[in-house]
């Protein structure tokens, strides 16, 4: 590695280059604030420095002669460590070519993770000795070049406009954006073609911003799902959902904010709540707990009221020894919300909604 150099400093100094081993010198860690300066730092590192004495210096003589040759002085020609069998981990040898850099950029835009990018680089070229740090640095440079002095939010709006997305946002008194929704025109066309059932739910704080991520999904006539709109919400409150629906209404040029819509419950979240409140009641018999879970899952899938009632009575008899678990399921979910949770009632709601939309379309004609 080059430890120092000079191009002649406008004729006042002799041009020189100093080359040292990359393991020369010693690692100097940062002290913890308030720590005794006489005591070594407690930070553990993976530094390769071992005060290797290897050192060469090249000097151009005479300095004013353009055709002058360089003189090499060997200050120390030995290493105090074993030489590497390969160049893995060496920044110079691990440099990416233009083709490899373009390959990394393509994978990054496709949301491929850095570790997978490194693996693909090595699969493409087995002799490649690039390390993770080089991949991270390349991605960082790409991110910086994309920003071009803009904030990440400004870049997002630029990309949404470039790809012809419709976007809606609102802000608070500090001019900070609190809610952001985007939707593609093709998704609007699908939603207008199949406006019968929309499913709206949030993925809870699984993104880097810690915000609820809302997705609105529709169903085709072949029971396939399609995405309609996406949104980051400030909170999972009624007014946040109302705002998102008004944005969707505006995008679809409708006249009402779905006054006849029905609020269905997410079965995954219901099962998570049952797990949190009931599993502890079955600590002495895990097999019985698994049977309880299976029985409830089958119960809410029933397609007739008779089947539901029969299975519910059977479930109460089977788990008569666990009254708190039965009481929780009944009081917290089935009694107040079975119309929003059990298949038989959900199917009725969907059928009513389909007939209503079809009747309105017929009268419009």
pLDDT in tens, 315-354: 999 999 999 999 999 999 999 889 889 998 888 776 666 5
List of residues 6+ apart from 110 with CB closer than 8 A: none
pLDDT in tens, 31-40: 555 555 555 5
Q: Work out the average pLDDT over 187-213.
A: 83
Compute the distance between CA of residue 319 and CA of residue 291 in angstroms, rounded to an integer. 9
Residue 307: per-residue pLDDT = 93
Instruction: Identify which has the larger pLDDT, 338 or 93.
Output: 338
Give the pLDDT band of residue 255 (cuts 50, 70, 90).
Answer: very low
pLDDT in tens, 269-326: 899 999 999 999 998 889 999 999 999 999 999 999 999 999 999 999 999 999 999 9
Residue 345: per-residue pLDDT = 86
pLDDT in tens, 133-158: 888 888 888 888 877 777 778 888 88
Cα distances (angstroms) measured from residue 268 to each of 219, 261, 271, 277, 327 = 19, 21, 5, 14, 20
Residue 269: per-residue pLDDT = 86
Q: Work out the average pLDDT over 229-254.
A: 88
Q: Express as a percent the part of the chain with pLDDT over 90.
A: 27
Residue 168: per-residue pLDDT = 92
Compute the distance between CA of residue 361 and CA of residue 352 in angstroms, rounded to an integer. 14
Give the pLDDT band of residue 257 (cuts 50, 70, 90).
Answer: very low
Instruction: Identify which has the larger pLDDT, 207 or 353.
Output: 207
Instruction: Identify which has the larger pLDDT, 304 or 257.
Output: 304
Residue 45: per-residue pLDDT = 57
Cα distances (angstroms) measured from residue 252 to each of 70, 112, 256 = 75, 34, 10
List of residues 6+ apart from 226 with CB closer than 8 A: 187, 190, 194, 217, 218, 219, 220
SS3 assignment, position 45: coil
Give the pLDDT band of residue 44 (cuts 50, 70, 90).
Answer: low
Do residues 1 and 21 lie in contact, with contact meaning Cβ atoms separated by under 8 Å?
yes
Residues in the chain: 365
State yes or no: pLDDT of 356 exceeds 80: no
- Using the CB atoms, write b or e for 337-351: b if 16+ within 10 Å: ebebbbbbbbeeeee
Residue 352: per-residue pLDDT = 60
Instruction: Identify which has the larger pLDDT, 285 or 207.
Output: 285
Written as one string, the DSSP assignment of 102-154 is: HHHHHHHHTT--HHHHHHHHHHH-TT----HHHHHHHHHHHHHHHHTT--HHH
SS3 assignment, position 169: strand
Candidates 225, 264, 277; CA nearest to 347 is 264
Candidates 207, 203, 164, 158; CA nearest to 184 is 164
């Amino acid at each position: 590695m080059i430890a120092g150099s000079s191009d002649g400093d406008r004729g006042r100094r002799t041009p020189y280059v100093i080359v040292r081993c990359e393991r020369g010198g010693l690692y100097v860690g940062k002290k913890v604030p308030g720590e005794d300066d006489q005591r070594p730092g407690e930070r553990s590192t993976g530094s390769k420095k071992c005060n290797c004495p290897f050192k060469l210096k090249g000097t151009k003589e005479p300095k004013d002669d353009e055709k002058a040759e360089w003189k090499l002085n060997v200050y120390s020609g030995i290493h105090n460590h074993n030489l590497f069998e390969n160049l893995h981990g060496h920044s110079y040898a691990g440099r990416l070519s233009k083709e490899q850099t373009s390959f990394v950029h393509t994978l990054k835009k496709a949301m491929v993770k850095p570790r997978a990018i490194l693996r693909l680089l090595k699969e493409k070229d087995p002799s490649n000795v690039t390390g993770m740090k080089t991949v991270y640095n390349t991605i960082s440079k790409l991110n910086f070049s994309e920003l071009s002095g803009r904030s990440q939010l400004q870049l997002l709006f630029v990309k949404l406009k470039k790809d012809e997305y419709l976007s809606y946002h609102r802000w608070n008194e500090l001019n900070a954006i609190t809610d952001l929704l985007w939707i593609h025109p093709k998704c609007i066309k699908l939603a207008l073609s199949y406006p019968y059932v929309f499913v709206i739910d949030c993925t809870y704080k699984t993104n880097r911003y810690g915000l609820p991520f809302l997705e609105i999904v529709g169903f085709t006539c072949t029971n396939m799902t399609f995405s309609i709109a996406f949104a980051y919400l400030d909170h999972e409150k009624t007014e946040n959902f109302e705002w998102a629906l008004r944005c969707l209404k505006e995008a679809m040029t409708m006249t009402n904010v779905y006054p006849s819509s029905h609020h269905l419950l997410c079965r995954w979240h219901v099962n998570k709540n049952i797990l949190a409140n009931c599993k502890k009641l079955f600590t002495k018999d895990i097999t019985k707990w698994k049977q309880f879970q299976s029985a409830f899952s089958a119960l809410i899938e029933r397609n007739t009221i008779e089947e539901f009632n029969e299975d519910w009575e059977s479930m109460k008899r089977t788990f008569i020894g666990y009254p708190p678990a039965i009481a929780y399921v009944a009081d917290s979910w089935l009694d107040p919300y079975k119309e929003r949770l059990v298949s038989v009632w959900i199917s009725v709601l969907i059928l009513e909604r389909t007939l209503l939309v079809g009747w309105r379309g017929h009268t419009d004609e």
